[in-house]
Every structure is written in C-alpha cells, then in structure tokens.
Amino acid sequence: SQQGEEDPQALSIQEGENATMNCSYKTSINNLQWYRQNSGRGLVHLILIRSNEREKHSGRLRVTLDTSKKSSSLLITASRAADTASYFCATAPFTGNQFYFGTGTSLTVIP
Amino acid sequence: DTAVSQTPKYLVTQMGNDKSIKCEQNLGHDTMYWYKQDSKKFLKIMFSYNNKELIINETVPNRFSPKSPDKAHLNLHINSLELGDSAVYFCASSPRTRSWNTEAFFGQGTRLTVV
C-alpha cells in the first residue's frame, strides 16, 4: 500500500501552543502535501513541499521533509481555536497521477 | 463560485439500488479524482481520470464506475449498493499531472448512507 501514516492520531493543545504532526510514507515521491479538513467539510490544501526541498514555511505553518527517512512534519505555531481540524499528508509519486493520503491527525485547540 | 461542486450533499438509499453522484469543476483542470472516506476518516483513492486516461484502484469493486461526459465533469455511478458502501465520497481535481506544483482541490463531499 502507498498509504502514509500519521502520528499522533489525535492531539489536544491549549491555544497559543505549537502543534506538531508527523507523516511517514513508503515509496519515492515527487512532492508531499498537507491538507486540512474541518468537520463535515472537504479538504483544503495548505502547503506543498517538493522532494528536493527540506523545509518550507507558509504563515504559521512550517513543513519539513526528510526523504532518507521518508517522513515529514507539520508544525503549526501559536495555535488558535480555529486550527481545530483534521490534518492529512498526501504524497504524489513520480509515476501515475494520484495522491495518496495519510491516516490523518485530529487536532483540537482548546481556547 | 464553487470551484469543485458535488451533488447531492447527502444521499440515503436502500441496499440494492443504483445511484449517481455528480461532480463538476470550473477550474479548467485536466485531472479529476474520486476518493472514499470511511468512518475512521481514512481517505482512499478510487479513480483518477485525465484526458481519457482512467486509472482505477484495483481494490474498487466494479459496481463503481466513473463517467466523464467532458473535461469538467466526472460522475460516479454505483450499482447494487451495499451497506459497506456507506461513506463520504469526495471529488477532487488538479491542474496537471506529473508536475512539481500540483495540488488537489476538493469538493465538499457526498455523505452516502445505505440502509
């Protein structure tokens, strides 16, 4: 299976704290992406990191990628209650045209 | 305007029925997808369709069939519905394939309940 895995499965933090989620995958990738899903809604793209990049920033988001370990992390700094959602990593392989999603991390930010 | 729209948002139907979910994207994208999300939020690719090239996940039962009347639409037909088909189905699109800068845009999902 090309499905990735994320940990933790669930994370609960206080507003203002940082949240870190990890993603591991199994095959070589073209890029890795992170998505957010609010309850009952579709997925929204957050950030994309290419396989030749090691770190990327977007606002309060910081993503790292270690292709030797086939892993990525998403850091959300200074969390807000509105960040409460499920977060998924998705990998795009070099062959084929599909995205493979991880199992997701459910983040709860307590006001 | 909604970029990727799915209809219906909710669908409740009996076992054995045949149903369709429609998807339209107004982004001019080349590739469209169908994903199934189960009760544990596990997202599984079902199909991807790009300019007449259909890639099917081999684990998807042949009761499921995608139909693309044109580049902007990819509908999902399901025959002989089973209880295990209950899930949320997401349509998505992306601008191009095998590209460094490809992200997917998702619809709001269709919650299918088979009773």
Of residues B51 and A14, which shows the higher confidence score? Answer: A14
Give the residue among B66, B103, B79, B81 at the shortest CA–CA distance from B15: B81
Of residues A93 and A21, which shows the higher confidence score? Answer: A21
The pLDDT tens digits for B10-69 are: 999 999 999 999 999 999 998 899 999 998 888 998 988 887 678 777 789 999 999 998
State the pLDDT at residue A4: 75
B100 to chain A nearest CA, in Å?
7
Give A-chain residues touching B107 at CB under 8 angstroms: 42
**In 10 A of CB A94, how many CB atoms?**
11
Q: Do B102 and A100 lie within an 8 Å CB cutoff?
A: no
CATH superfamily for domain B4-114: Immunoglobulins (2.60.40.10)
Domains located in chain A, CATH noted: 5-110 (2.60.40.10)
Of residues B33 and A1, which shows the higher confidence score? Answer: B33
State the pLDDT at residue A2: 59
Task: Give the pairing type, strands B43-50 and B53-56.
Answer: antiparallel
Residue B110 has pLDDT above 90, yes or no: yes
Residues in Cβ contact with A59 at an 8 Å cutoff, skipping those fewer than 6 apart: none
Confidence of residue A96 (pLDDT cuts 50, 70, 90): low
The pLDDT tens digits for A66-79 are: 999 999 999 999 99
State the pLDDT at residue B55: 78
Q: Do A94 and B98 lie within an 8 Å CB cutoff?
A: yes
Residue A14 has pLDDT above 80, yes or no: yes
Average pLDDT over residues A73-91: 96
Residue B17 in tokens? 């029925």
Of residues A34 and B103, which shows the higher confidence score? Answer: A34
Give the residue among A105, A53, A73 at the shortest CA–CA distance from B43: A105
Q: Out of A24-33, A77-86, A96-105, B25-34, pick the least confident.
A: A96-105
State the pLDDT at residue B48: 87
Q: What average pLDDT does the structure give for chain A?
A: 92
From the number of C-beta atoms within 10 Å of its C-beta (0-12, 13-18, 19+), residue A11 rates as middle
State the pLDDT at residue B56: 73
| Neighbouring-strand partners of residue B20 | B77
CB-nearest partner of A97 from B97, B105, B109: B97
B80 to chain A nearest CA, in Å?
26
Average pLDDT over residues B85-96: 92
Give the three-class secondary structure for A102.
coil
How far apart (Å, rounded) are the C-alpha atoms in residues A58 and A87? 15
Residue B25 in tokens? 């994207």
CB-nearest partner of A101 from B43, B100, B108: B43
A50 to chain B nearest CA, in Å?
7
Average pLDDT over residues B94-112: 80
Strand boundaries in chain B, DSSP class E: 4-7, 10-13, 19-25, 31-37, 43-50, 53-56, 64-67, 75-78, 87-94, 105-106, 110-114
Per-position b or e across A40-67, b if 16+ CB within 10 A of its CB: eebbebbbbbeeeeeebeeeebbbbbee
Give the residue among A33, A5, A102 at the shortest CA–CA distance from B104: A33
Domain definitions of chain B by residue range: 4-114
| Neighbouring-strand partners of residue A28 | none
Give the residue among B97, B107, B112, B105 at the shortest CA–CA distance from B50: B97
Tokens 């030797």 -> residue: A68
